[in-house]
């Protein structure tokens, strides 16, 4: 039990003094900054990954020990964690540093008495400085900006597309930006690009549930109409929904589709 339970008045006073951002790493409001969520995934390790750097650790107890330490020392959650959802919460090096301190004080439980005491990887992560993180963030943002500028250039100069850019993500984004939703056909360089899709809906045998799946195809054709490249074929990857009595004409016995 946390010692804060013994002095709820002090805890309540401390807790009420914090802003929403200081209390929570989760962003419940609508203005989510998904670019920062992406960065937190790139720059920090998942909290379970960090805790498991302690051999044979008991993860939940370790997290509680970290939480109690932070509350007792008035360390705000945003100093320890990064991210926008609890299932994908990332731990900053500061959190690893505290975990290491707690482990060295014998306050982190391990599953066996003879468990390894090697926490070298935890030490290494705890020493990562915010300057290093900032530098890496700048590099990621720089590369991201280059990709955006390159995409905008190809959008205006489609014949300048490179072979390496003929990927599903690039072409699908191009199709949406240039033509909007739906099926489309367009020219780039000496090729014809075709994007098509269909929505497959299948009811269960009882008719109570419905499985809908969007199947997307993007193919590239040569000037003479021959197939140059299959970029995306949803049916080949995921397959069509499994048939049942309601959608199989050989077994439906008169059931409506």
- Both 205 and 122 in one domain: the answer is no
Report pLDDT for 3. 45
- Both 165 and 129 in one domain: the answer is no
How many whole angstroms separate alpha carbon 40 and alpha carbon 82?
A: 6
- Both 125 and 179 in one domain: the answer is no
Average pLDDT over the chain reads 79
- Both 16 and 124 in one domain: the answer is yes
Helix (H, G, I), strand (E, B) or coil at 162: coil
Q: Work out how many domains the chain is built from and give that number.
A: 2
Helix (H, G, I), strand (E, B) or coil at 149: helix
- Which residues 6+ apart lie within 8 Å of 72 measured at CB? 2, 3, 4
In a domain, 245, yes or no: no
* Domain limit, last residue, from 69, 101, 136: 136
- Both 56 and 98 in one domain: the answer is yes
In a domain, 98, yes or no: yes
How many whole angstroms separate alpha carbon 200 and alpha carbon 216?
A: 11
- Both 127 and 178 in one domain: the answer is no
- Both 87 and 211 in one domain: the answer is no
Per-residue model confidence as pLDDT tens digits over 18-58:
665 555 444 433 344 445 555 566 778 899 999 999 999 99
- Residue 11 exposure: Cα atoms within 13 Å on the Cβ side: 12
Report pLDDT for 220. 95
Q: pTM for this one?
A: 0.50
Report pLDDT for 257. 47
In a domain, 151, yes or no: no
Report pLDDT for 245. 57
Report pLDDT for 6. 43
* Cα angle 111-61-108, degrees, rounded to a multiple of 5: 65
- Both 165 and 118 in one domain: the answer is no
- Both 124 and 211 in one domain: the answer is no
In a domain, 250, yes or no: no
In a domain, 144, yes or no: no
Query: Hey, what are 12's tokens?
Result: 């309540």
Report pLDDT for 76. 82
Q: Are the CB atoms for 32 and 84 separated by under 8 Å?
A: yes
Report pLDDT for 26. 42
- Both 127 and 213 in one domain: the answer is no
What residue numbers bound the domain in which 92 lies? Answer: 3-136
Kindly give the parts of the chain with pLDDT less than 50: 1-7, 24-34, 237-238, 257
In a domain, 48, yes or no: yes
* Domain limit, last residue, from 79, 102, 136: 136
- Both 129 and 167 in one domain: the answer is no
Helix (H, G, I), strand (E, B) or coil at 43: helix
- Both 28 and 93 in one domain: the answer is yes
């Amino acid at each position: 039990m946390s010692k804060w339970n013994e002095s709820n008045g002090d805890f309540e006073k401390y807790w009420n003094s914090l802003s929403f951002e200081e209390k929570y790493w989760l962003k419940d409001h609508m203005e989510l900054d998904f670019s920062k969520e992406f960065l937190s995934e790139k720059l920090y390790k998942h909290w379970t990954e960090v805790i498991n750097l302690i051999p044979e650790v008991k993860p939940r107890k370790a997290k509680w020990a970290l939480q109690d330490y932070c509350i007792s020392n008035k360390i705000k959650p945003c100093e320890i964690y990064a991210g926008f959802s609890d299932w994908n919460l990332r731990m900053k090096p500061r959190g690893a540093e505290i975990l290491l301190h707690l482990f060295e004080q014998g306050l982190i439980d391990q599953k066996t008495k003879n468990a390894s005491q090697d926490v070298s990887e935890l030490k290494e992560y705890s020493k990562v400085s915010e300057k290093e993180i900032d530098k890496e963030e700048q590099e990621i943002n720089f590369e991201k900006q280059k990709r955006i500028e390159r995409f905008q250039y190809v959008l205006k100069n489609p014949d300048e597309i490179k072979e390496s850019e003929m990927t599903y993500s690039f072409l699908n984004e191009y199709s949406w930006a240039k033509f909007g939703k739906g099926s489309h056909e367009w020219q780039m360089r000496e090729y014809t690009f075709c994007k098509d899709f269909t929505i497959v809906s299948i009811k269960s045998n009882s008719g109570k549930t419905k499985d809908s799946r969007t199947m997307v195809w993007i193919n590239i054709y040569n000037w003479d109409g021959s197939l140059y490249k299959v970029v995306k074929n949803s049916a080949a990857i995921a397959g069509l929904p499994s048939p049942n009595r309601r959608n199989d004409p050989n077994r439906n016995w008169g059931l409506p589709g």
